[in-house]
Every structure is written in structure tokens, then in C-alpha cells.
């Protein structure tokens, strides 16, 4: 039986504008590859203000990177 790929999610906080956002990616490394492939630094941008910051990700996962506001942040804006 094959299982679907699941994105890993790392929460972050922008020091400039205060937004909480998630960095999501697929980590397709298998056991034994984790030690052989060191993490890589890649720049991500805050989805609210655009400020860049470096994050460490598993090698190869930077190609599957998605950045988005935390769902609690996205719902902000009023209502009741």
C-alpha cells in the first residue's frame, strides 16, 4: 500500500511586521539519506511584508517550498 506525501510544516514569525507564517515542504529523504545530505539554507519571504529571512531545510526540499500566512493570521480581519 502506498501512502500519500505529506508536507512538513515549520511555523515562523516575522520580526518586522509580526506576521505568523508557515514554511511547508516535502522531505523525500529516506532513512540513511538524512546523514548523507546536509541541510541547506534558503531564503523565504514573509507573505505579509516581503522581508527575507534564511531558513534551514532538508536538502532537496527547497524545490517544494510553499510559504503562507498562518491560518489564524489569514482569518484576521474582523467579523463578529
Which pTM value belongs to this model?
A: 0.74
Closest CA to 22 of 67, 58, 74: 67
What is the per-residue pLDDT for 3? 61
- Tell which residue, 79, 57, 77, 78, has the closest CA to residue 67: 57
Positions in the chain whose pLDDT score sits under 70: 1-3, 31-35, 73-80
pLDDT at position 27:
86
pLDDT of residue 25: 94
Distance between CA 52 and CA 19 in Å, rounded? 13
For residue 73, report the phi and psi dihedrals to the nearest 5 degrees. -70, -40
CB–CB of 68/46 below 8 Å? Answer: no
- Outline where the chain has alpha helix (H): 33-36, 71-74
Amino acid at each position: 500500500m502506498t501512502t500519500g506525501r505529506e508536507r512538513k510544516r515549520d511555523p515562523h514569525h516575522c520580526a518586522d511586521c509580526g506576521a505568523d507564517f508557515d514554511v511547508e515542504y516535502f522531505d523525500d529523504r529516506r532513512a540513511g539519506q538524512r546523514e548523507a545530505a546536509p541541510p541547506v539554507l534558503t531564503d523565504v519571504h514573509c507573505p505579509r511584508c516581503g522581508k527575507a529571512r534564511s531558513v534551514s531545510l532538508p536538502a532537496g526540499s527547497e524545490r517544494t517550498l510553499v510559504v503562507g500566512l498562518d491560518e489564524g493570521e489569514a482569518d484576521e480581519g474582523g467579523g463578529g
